[in-house]
Amino acid sequence: MGKYAIIFFSVLIIFTGASCSTTQTNDEMLRETAELFSVNNFDGSGVATRSFIGGEFNHIVTAELDDPTDGSFYEGWLIREPKAGDFFSTGKMEKVGSEYFLEYMSGKNYPDHNTVVITLEQNDDGEPEEHILEGTF
């Protein structure tokens, strides 16, 4: 299956509300969903999901956003404790069709990173810049 077919299928699951049946163990969490709302006078919205199944953490964000200006980009973040600097980037968002999309996968679970932030970035320096969407699991 090609990259775009996988992206389309993932987005289809999010927007149709389809779910996979799975058994939850102590180390697994079922798929959680968070709505993302615009902040700081930006227009846009989004949906984020996360799951930890079979030893794999999967985090997906889809967002309806205007295209950023030349030289800037959208980046995703998972945050546990912002004041303590306990956050990490989940990557740059890519435009797929008319929406922006990112998928982050890891062998490590992040059950305490409950805040999702999408930022508008000017610099690719690993530091979050202007918050434009936020939500909580």
Domain positions in the chain: 32-136
Q: What is the structure's pLDDT at 82?
A: 73
83 in helix, strand or coil? helix
The better pLDDT of the pair 2, 120 is held by 120
Check if the beta carbon of residue 92 is closer than 8 Å to that of residue 104. Answer: no
pLDDT digits (tens, 9 = 90+) for 56-99: 999 999 999 999 999 999 999 999 987 777 899 999 999 999 99
Q: What is the structure's pLDDT at 12?
A: 39
Architecture of domain 32-136: Sandwich (2.60)
Q: What is the structure's pLDDT at 112?
A: 93
Check if the beta carbon of residue 36 is closer than 8 Å to that of residue 47. Answer: yes
Tokens (6 digits) for 81? 């404790």
